[in-house]
Amino acid sequence: MKMKYIFIGLLWLYASTVSAVELSRHVAAQVMQAQKQAEQQHLEQAIETLRAVTAAKPQDQAYVALLLANYYWQNEQSKQAIVQARYAVTSNQLKDELGWSAKRMLADLLANDHQYQEAVTYYRQLADNAPAKKDVSQLWLRIGQIHYLLSQWQQALDAISQYQHFQLPDAVTPLSIQLGAQIQLTRYKAAIPTIKRLLALEPEQRNWWLQLVNMELKTKQFRSALASLELARLKGVKLSEQNLKLLASLYAQNGIPERAARVMAELAGQSSPTLEELTQTAYYWQQAKEWDEATETWQLAAQHDKKYYRNVARLQLQQGNYQESLDALALLQGHAQAADIALLRTQALYKLNQFEQALSQAKKADRIQPSSEAKSWIKYLTQLHEYRKNRES
């Protein structure tokens, strides 16, 4: 499962935050000037104003660096923003909520720059030491996202578990992370409830339905897989040719061969069916005891490969169409399994009261490949011939 997460740019620092920090008078004046420039969208000027600040106090330097990080970020200069934010954080001059916000900015900047391992370290510190009213759930979600991107599946699941402790309404992003990690860890049974929660949010999402069916197949819940695929189709989810073949297979596997055949016939109506598709459809019709449809489909298969005239002949013989059976067998001249074909001829000729020809075919079958069936026919037809001969005399 491929997932992309876009980390949102942060614009926390406004003029009101200046009052939270005791700045030197001349530094405070330059900071206010820079903030006015930024408010007027003159970011380059704001950056130059702050770069020109000569701050002696470490706290002043840290605060100016934090503002610079913010303006660099707004100006799409992420590398410079990270440098300034890192200085603001590692100086340890910014305390309490402002220090926490500075670390949050650095974590987000690092995440946006794909420096995930360092970012997740900061996110965990933030989650463990969050001031009151901070949205810690979103921090755990961010941690889960990063572990997922780093292919650290168990850590991703653990982070999402922490997120779920906040008992928020279900949302696609955390559930998607949970599902992806569960699949990667082959926890297929656990993945099924997760997918169902995703389907409650996005019932028309084809991917969730297919994931559900896949998980049910992996856990050998074949009837559930059939029900899920049926329901997806009922809800208008477009199924691919491969999905429809799977649906047909599940119908057959669950003892509903007629529906399996109808799905395959529907597929055949959309494009020219392959030989494999025709033979599969014919088998389904045969399992459903729909003899006419089975015979017709075997005849279509036989147009691709003559060996399937044997299947046609068997069904016609079974249905009492003996001459048609012989006609189909005539198309198998010189084909493999000659002994089997001769035995089928024996049965058809016997039913047509052509006993001598039937006996000839039985002997031919036994000559090609001796068998108890051929010998039984030879014995029976020889006795019948003797009986008829005695009656005539």
* DSSP-assigned letter for residue 307: G
Q: Which amino acid is at 99?
A: G
Q: Which amino acid is at 272?
A: S
Neighbours of 24 (CB within 10 A): 16
Distance between CA atoms of residues 224 and 208, nearest Å: 15
Work out the angle between the directed axes of helices 96-112 and 78-90 (0-180°, nearest 10): 150
- DSSP-based helix, strand, coil % in the chain, nearest 5: 75, 0, 25
Distance between CA atoms of residues 238 and 381, nearest Å: 58
Is the domain 1-134 a CATH 1.25.40.10 member? Answer: yes
pTM (two decimals): 0.80
The DSSP secondary structure of 4-17, one letter per residue, reads: ---PPP-----GGG
Tens digit of pLDDT at every position of the chain (393 positions): 433 333 333 444 433 344 456 788 888 889 899 989 988 999 999 999 999 988 778 999 999 999 999 999 999 999 999 999 999 999 999 988 889 999 999 999 999 999 999 999 999 999 998 888 778 999 999 999 999 999 999 999 999 999 999 999 999 999 999 999 999 999 999 999 999 999 999 999 999 999 999 999 999 999 999 999 999 999 999 999 999 999 999 999 999 999 999 999 999 888 889 999 999 999 999 999 999 999 999 999 999 999 999 999 999 999 999 999 999 999 987 766 889 999 999 999 999 999 999 999 999 999 999 999 999 999 999 999 888 777 766
Q: Where are the domains of the chain?
A: 1-134
Q: Which two tokens stand for residue 281?
A: 């459809």
**35 contacts: CB under 8 Å, gap ≥ 6:** 14, 15, 18, 46, 67
Distance between CA atoms of residues 383 and 317, nearest Å: 23
Distance between CA atoms of residues 139 and 355, nearest Å: 88
